[in-house]
Amino acid sequence: MTITALTEDQQALVETTLDFAQDHLAPHALDWDRDKHFPVDVLRKAAGLGLGGVYVREESGGSGLTRSDGVLVFETLASGCPAIAGYLSIHNMVAWMIDRYGDDAQRERWLPRLCAMEDLASYCLTEPGAGSDAAALTTRAVRDGDGWVLTGVKQFISGAGASQSYVVMARTGGGGPDGVSAFVVDKDDAGVSFGPNERKMGWNAQPTRQVVLDGVRLPADRLLGREGEGFRIAMSGLNGGRLGIAACSLGGARSALDRSLAHLADREAFGQRLLDAQALRFRLADMATELAAARALVAQAAHALDRGDPQAPYLCAMAKRFATDTGYSVADRALQLHGGYGYLSEYGIEKIVRDLRVHQILEGTNEIMRVIVARGLTEAFA
């Protein structure tokens, strides 16, 4: 299936990204999943195409693409491997946050290496006791002279241990969102350590570990934005991050649907191709229709974010909820259409199902997306 209604530049972007996904991701995705291998060398090849700083302005070393361009990039990458595309989305979220909220010195210090993916980046908001209620985080940053000392634990951090740069949300003031600030922590800072790599259902091609901050002393220039602005920075980053993960769900599910079409065309039962059975054709039609609807909603949300629409956070939550639920559902039905073969790892369908399942949880659970959407619907009646 193809993506239509693109500009010439967007079509060229999709074609280039698809070539990369088919040449460098898809042939190795099953091995990376089995071996729990994080292909940093391949990520650096992606950076050679400008995919290490998708949204970072060109003067900071990035590609300066829009969110509307970005969702095309991540959908296409995910057709090769959702786990690697998902990490790239997170890395780009962090790079954008530094570009958007950092000062000139911070952009000059971190962005060239992040855009080249010489250094990788991770986003540190969730804690063992603060997931959906992110404003309840307890990691603390205490003033020490001109600097800060950070203490706490971050949980479920994608890329942890392999990443060099971490945007960390820590409490610098009282309770609630206004007491949170954002910091850039380096892997080599004294007091930074990591838990063991988590054993996960999917996303095995990227590490997920705790980030442990034990009295990490940072100079004043590690504060990103202003003191007390961290929660707003974190949520701003997540608007784009949710679109990236939504797009990754579309790409993984689109791959599963394409594989199902090929499988049903190749298999026969009761004297006819499975692809000619009307009941199965109807299933395929529903899957394609649902993906097209999800893609349209993601595109609408991306356009809203690009133009600074005040409804963008509401639309991003809506798109993330719908696209990740739809993507997982389509992949699950694709597995069913493969019959017993879908359950075998060598066919790649069960990997897509496992990878897409976490998209309904990360970047804000889909239950929290419903809270955001409901709040937008009902705030006039408060």
Q: Annotated catalytic sites, by residue?
A: 363
Give the DSSP letter of residue 22: I
The tokens of 129 are what?
Answer: 């006791």
Helix or strand (DSSP H, E) at 218: strand 208-218
The tokens of 327 are what?
Answer: 């993507």
**Distance (Å, whole) CA 244 – CA 316:** 10
Helix or strand (DSSP H, E) at 149: strand 147-158
**Distance (Å, whole) CA 280 – CA 268:** 12
Helix axes 230-266, 278-306, angle to 10 degrees: 160
**Distance (Å, whole) CA 122 – CA 334:** 32
Tabulate helix, strand, coil % of the chain (nearest 5).
60, 15, 25
**Distance (Å, whole) CA 8 – CA 208:** 38
**Distance (Å, whole) CA 83 – CA 286:** 25
Cα–chain center distance at 201: 17
Contact 163, 174 (CB under 8 A): no
Helix or strand (DSSP H, E) at 121: strand 121-124
Q: Which of 97, 373, 115 is nearest to 234 (CA)?
A: 97
Helix axes 82-101, 40-47, angle to 10 degrees: 60
DSSP string, 154-201: EEEEETTTT-SEEEEEEE-SSSSGGGEEEEEEETTSTTEEE-PPP--S
